[in-house]
Structure 1
Amino acid sequence: MSTCGPIRAPRTRDRAGGEMMKRRMMLGLALTAALPSAALASRVRPAPLEVLDTYLANPVPDSRAQVAGQPLLLRRVHDWNFDPAAVAVETEEGQRLGYLPPRQAEVLSRLLDHGARTSARVTGPGRIQVLLHL
């Protein structure tokens, strides 16, 4: 019975295996380096999309005193009998300025009912711009 040392794979396989390990390590490093940039890219949001430039329907008397560029909120109003698809326009403090015109509010109210994020801003006396955030 002969005593043999440990069985070893031929040298070429060791070298190939070593090369394979180096490739795996390089790939791992490359992927790890790409993760922070992918995370940053997912945080970048597209600019809001202008979907409407309109007037205020049923404005309250003080609504025309708003400053151009002032941010506004759009709130869905379900209990207004005149317009079942009503969308109220309010200041950030919650002061109601008026409503979107019924014909234009019809589509926007459906988007709001399904959770769409919107905003608006004053563009002139009694006029607003409605933005959709994607």
Structure 2
Amino acid sequence: MVVGIGYEGLSLPEFLARVSALGVSHVVDVRYAARSRKPPFNKKALAAALSSVGVGYTHMPELGNPPSNRPGFGGSPAELVASRAVYAGLMPSLTPLVELASRERVALLCFEADQSRCHRDVILSSLP
């Protein structure tokens, strides 16, 4: 099973508690670049924090939303529809994600708290 999670507005302890509450055993980071203005959510720090609570971490930058396509996700309804379509056209094969999800409960990670305004929603809606 795959769920989505955004860390916007969360501290690291709050994020880890949410991951635990969801029963997640593996976080797949779908950010284009696994960097954050919040240092605990940078790739290495986040992987270490997740590991400390028994949760795996994989960064799949190929599932990231390119910077040029991000503004529409925060724009008008028409811009959101257009950006979702652009991302769907760029999205690579989801086979590695599907294979991982067949073995573990996976959370797709990105920044945005409102999943409907995040590319991870496009990924989730494209899964078999």
Of Structure 1 and Structure 2, the greater helix share is in: 2
What's the TM-score, normalizing by structure 2?
0.22
Q: Which has the higher contact order (CA 8 A, sep 6+)?
A: 2
Structure of larger gyration radius:
1
